């Protein structure tokens, strides 16, 4: 290598070093808030937030549609699982082998018509669970030990919870007993 080539390489390295120093000073002088990086971060984060909000709103919309369908179903079919109907069906139902208690038969019939444990509303599931507990009281009645007054008492306790479920469904749907 001759001297001119080495001098040329040294000059090129010196110019590169000066350009890098100028770029460093320019980047350091510029505020982060006034940079393309900040704009990119802001744009990406706003896109993510919009996507998440859209997903959450979509989930709430689907949940509301499902609940509306459930409340409409309850408003239309509430009389199929009222305590009197369940009691009548339980008296006329028998299972192979040993016979089940009256309250258990009523709950089997209720669960066959209403799968409340799959409902998205905790409040609605809790009301149905209370209704089941009221129906379990019929297990104490075996037709011989208790009189008809006790049976009416159990019916009235279960009817109170059934009326709450019915009233909630009517309130949510805008229906009533005469329009269903």
- What per-residue confidence (pLDDT) applies to 152? 84
CB 89 within 8 A of CB 107: no
Do 14 and 82 fall into the same domain?
Answer: no
- What per-residue confidence (pLDDT) applies to 126? 94
- What per-residue confidence (pLDDT) applies to 8? 85
Do 81 and 157 fall into the same domain?
Answer: yes
Residue 79, domain member (yes or no): yes
Do 75 and 123 fall into the same domain?
Answer: yes
CA 157/CA 178 separation, integer angstroms: 24
CA 8/CA 88 separation, integer angstroms: 106
DSSP string over 81-138: GSHHHHHHHHHH---SSSPPPHHHHHHHHHHHH--GGG-S-HHHHHHHHHHHHHHHGG
Do 81 and 166 fall into the same domain?
Answer: yes
Residue 134, domain member (yes or no): yes
Residue 19, domain member (yes or no): yes
Give, for all 180 residues of the chain, the pLDDT tens digit: 577 877 888 888 888 988 888 878 877 777 767 778 788 888 999 999 999 999 999 999 999 999 999 999 988 888 888 899 998 888 888 888 777 888 898 999 999 989 999 999 999 999 999 999 999 988 877 655 556 777 788 888 999 999 999 989 888 888 877 776
**Distance set, CA 49 to CA 34, 43, 52, 55, 56 (Å):** 22, 10, 5, 10, 10
CB 119 within 8 A of CB 131: no
Do 69 and 152 fall into the same domain?
Answer: yes
Do 88 and 156 fall into the same domain?
Answer: yes
Do 96 and 148 fall into the same domain?
Answer: yes
CB 104 within 8 A of CB 140: no
Q: 128 is in which domain, residue-wise?
A: 60-173
The number of domains in the chain is: 2
Q: Which residue has the tokens 């179903």?
A: 73
Residue 64, domain member (yes or no): yes
Residue 146, domain member (yes or no): yes
CB 57 within 8 A of CB 69: no
Do 19 and 93 fall into the same domain?
Answer: no
Do 65 and 139 fall into the same domain?
Answer: yes
CA 107/CA 98 separation, integer angstroms: 17
Residue 125, domain member (yes or no): yes
Do 65 and 153 fall into the same domain?
Answer: yes
């Amino acid at each position: 290598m001759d001297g001119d080539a080495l001098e040329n390489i040294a000059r090129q390295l010196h110019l590169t070093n000066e350009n890098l120093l100028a770029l460093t000073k320019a980047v350091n002088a510029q505020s982060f808030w006034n940079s393309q990086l900040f704009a990119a971060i802001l744009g990406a984060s706003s896109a993510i937030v919009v996507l998440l909000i859209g997903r959450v709103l979509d989930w709430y919309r689907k949940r509301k549609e499902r609940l509306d369908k459930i409340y409409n179903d309850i408003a239309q079919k509430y009389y199929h699982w009222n305590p009197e109907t369940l009691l009548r069906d339980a008296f006329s139902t028998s299972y192979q082998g040993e016979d089940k208690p009256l309250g258990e038969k009523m709950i089997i019939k209720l669960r066959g018509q209403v799968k409340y444990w799959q409902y998205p509303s905790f409040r609605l599931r809790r009301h149905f669970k209370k209704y089941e507990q009221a129906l379990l009281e019929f297990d104490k009645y075996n037709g011989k030990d208790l009189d008809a007054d006790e049976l009416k008492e159990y019916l009235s306790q279960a009817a109170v919870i059934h009326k709450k479920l019915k009233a909630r469904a009517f309130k949510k749907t805008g229906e009533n007993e005469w329009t269903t």
